[in-house]
Amino acid sequence: MKTNYTHKSTTEEIRQRFDHDVERFSKLETGQVSTLDATLSLELITESAKRINPYATKILDIGCGAGNYTLKMLSKLPNLNCTLIDLSKPMLDKAFERVSPATSGEVIVVQSDIRDIHLLEESYDIILAGAVLHHLREDADWEFVFQKLYNALKPAGSLWISDLITQHNAILNEYIWETYGDYLEKVDGAEYRKKVMDYVEKEDSPRSLNFQLALMKKVGFAEVEILHKNSCFAAYGAIK
């Protein structure tokens, strides 16, 4: 059955929201309170990228926000050439301001939806995608983006993702999201729980790890890896 996404935020609405949320997402610890294990996932995906591609020279950060993921990557592999893509120009401006002093490499910023931008094939050693893919809607969009990212990687390059996910089984999915709601309520009460859940319902359309890992294999990735999962958040990746 085809899912109806007409009630979800449009790309333009998402862009406008992030335009006004730059400072919060410039500080991982305070900007990601609703994201379980945000700092752990960031450490896991960047350290994994370093170990799989220790001689990397070029990275692509999609949905880069204020640059947290690229900055963490540069702390492990300095002086990379960095391409940063985001819907929001204020986010890109902040990312450029923070990333440029951290590398002697080239820093390119591109304001675009990942679905629209043309990426040269076999151009990047590492691709990072932090809390961005859950904005994709139709299955066809997911496959199109995964294929694009696969094509953009050099041979043996790697893709690393930290994101919101669902469970494949509907009963288990309901249970896991109940536990996440309980966590939110402990953080800041019932009103905060409702606020975050309403936001997810309006803006996000995550997919299960089963779906994403199978899709990675379908588009050509040789290996897929799960680094960490806690409730409805996970860190995972794939090697070309």
Task: Determine the residue type at 14.
Answer: I
Domain extent at residue 211: 11-239
Task: Determine the residue type at 102.
Answer: A
Residue 222 included in any domain: yes
47 vs 9, 41, 59, 128, CA distance in Å? 33, 10, 14, 12
Residue 33 included in any domain: yes
Is 118:148 a contact under the CB 8 Å cutoff? no
Residue with token string 């919060």 = 24
pLDDT greater than 90 at residue 13:
no
Q: Indicate the pTM of the whole model.
A: 0.92
Question: Rounded to an integer, what distance in angstroms lies between the CA atom of residue 90 and that of residue 104?
Answer: 23
Residue 4 included in any domain: no
pLDDT greater than 50 at residue 1:
no
Q: What is the pLDDT of residue 30?
A: 45
Residue 230 included in any domain: yes
Please give the helix or strand (H or E) that residue 14 lies within, else none.
helix 11-19
pLDDT mean over 43-61: 98
Q: Which pLDDT tens digit goes with each residue over 122-175?
A: 999 999 999 999 999 999 999 999 999 999 999 999 999 999 999 999 999 999
58 vs 2, 10, 77, 89, 135, CA distance in Å? 38, 31, 10, 22, 25
Residue 111 included in any domain: yes
Could you tell me the CATH number of the domain that includes residue 52? Answer: 3.40.50.150
Mean pLDDT of the chain: 91
Residue 1 included in any domain: no
Residue 2 included in any domain: no
